[in-house]
Chains A and B, each alone.
Chain A
Amino acid sequence: MLRLSFPVLHYRMSSKAQSSNNLNQARQTVQQLRLEARNERIKVSKASADLMNYCIECARTDPLLMGIPASENPFKEKKPCTIL
């Protein structure tokens, strides 16, 4: 959805343009579906296993999973120290 805080105008096409458009669109749709029908597909179990393995292997280098030591945290607010 286009999220705006003011209204936007929409335009409508003439019905003649619409029907010629429909035919072109139908031709394009069929052409695209022919292409997509030819794709090879692997089993979801294999795809899932690969995604899981990737996550697990990379977990150790994912700072948001492992946590970041305060001294290495680039976003942490640095408070001034006072020597008592």
Chain B
Amino acid sequence: MAAEKAEMDALKKECDGLRAQIEAARKAVNDTTMTAAANGVAPLGRVQLKLRKSLKGHLAKIYAMHWSEDSRQMVSASQDGKLLVWDTFTGNKLVAVPLKSAWVMSVAFSPSANLVASGGLDNICTVYNIKAASPKTLRELDAHTGYLSCCRFLSDSEILTASGDTTCVLWDLETGKQKMVYTNHIGDCMSLALSSDMNMFISGACDSLAKLWDLREGTCKQTFSGHTSDINAISFFPSGNAIITGSDDCSCKMYDLRSDQEVTDYTDATLNAGVTSLALSNSGRLIFAGYDDFNCHIWDSLKGEKVGVLSGHDNRVSCTGVPADGMGVCTGSWDSFLKLWN
């Protein structure tokens, strides 16, 4: 017991020393803020997007949505126990996938659009083949000991999941086995995003930290702090050099990967609702953030100012997504509707 306590004390001392070292290194390069640097950039003025379509079909709260890479199909998941695949150009429903467990929290489209995956309180990530005559369960990935909060395909043979058990996992879809387990968060993992080259990914968790991971090595490369509550949403800036997070502390933040620190904070005194989801426009200039206040607020990522709002939902906005071609924004809500704006 004494040996344990001695080691614990030594570890704590080294821990404090290393934290101070990292803070000092960050401070040493902190010669400005993004907002100050962007002083000379022309302001955007009011960004007014119009509601183009309201997609009606789910019978209960929508928890997640994901665009297909074709920028036309989109899949949504609802507590009504269904996944719906939509043709967003016509508003038609293409496929309905009945779920074993209605408590779904995440949904994803594979890049090929042959597969969709979903999961939630069942702790399982289920992968479906939607190109078959009727949706067929391909795999049930069952190893997480907590809820499935997020899933993203790398290809038709690999998928990454984030879980309430504090880990993220890379799965081999051919064998159904875990290829890599990413452990480092000390709170429920709520969200993840893949880098465009798929060598890295980022995760946000209830420990209020965002982490950058080397996908193949399985190691955590960087940790970003600053939020004072759960991080619910996370995304890469399109250049790949920064990440954006959304939190229950009612703010979004931008962290630069190469400076290893927060460079912008997106807060507004009048906004007292948690951020549930976020998506960026193709240039990275606009951040669409879904909030518990039933709105999706639009931020100028460079100047840190609120520049617009997407209003129309009758309950919290739970998910937000911009398709690969950047032609619009989709918001999904607990009011059971998905809305398309541009």
A→B interface (CB under 8 Å): 1-5, 8, 19, 22-23, 25-30, 32-37, 39-52, 54-59, 61-65, 68, 73-77
Contacts and interface: CB of A to CB of B under 8 A. Distances in A.
A83 B188 CA distance: 60
If over half of B's interface residues share one DSSP class (helix, strand or loop), that class is named, otherwise mixed; here it is loop
Contacts of A77: 52-53
A22 B230 CA distance: 22
Nearest to B326: A63
Interface of B: 4, 7-8, 11-12, 14-15, 18-19, 21-22, 25-26, 28-34, 37-38, 41, 44, 47, 49, 52-53, 61, 72, 79, 88-89, 103, 121, 147, 149, 164, 183-184, 186, 188, 190, 206, 219-223, 229-230, 232, 237-239, 241-242, 248, 256, 258-261, 263, 274, 276, 281-286, 301-302, 316, 318, 322, 325-329, 340, 342
Contacts of B34: 44, 48, 51
B331 to A, nearest CB: 13
Given A23-B4, A74-B88, A54 B239 contact: yes
Nearest to B40: A52
Contact of A1 (B15, B232, B242): B232
B37 A74 contact: no
B26 A74 contact: no
Contacts of A57: 283
A43 B31 contact: yes
B219 A35 contact: yes
Contacts of B15: 26, 29-30, 33
Nearest to B35: A48
A75 B18 contact: no
A74 B52 CA distance: 9
Contacts of A4: 103, 121
Contact of A3 (B22, B276, B302): B276
Contact of B222 (A30, A39, A50, A59): A39
Nearest to A61: B282
A30 B44 CA distance: 44
A61 B281 CA distance: 10
Given A27-B11, A41-B26, A41-B29, A47 B342 contact: no
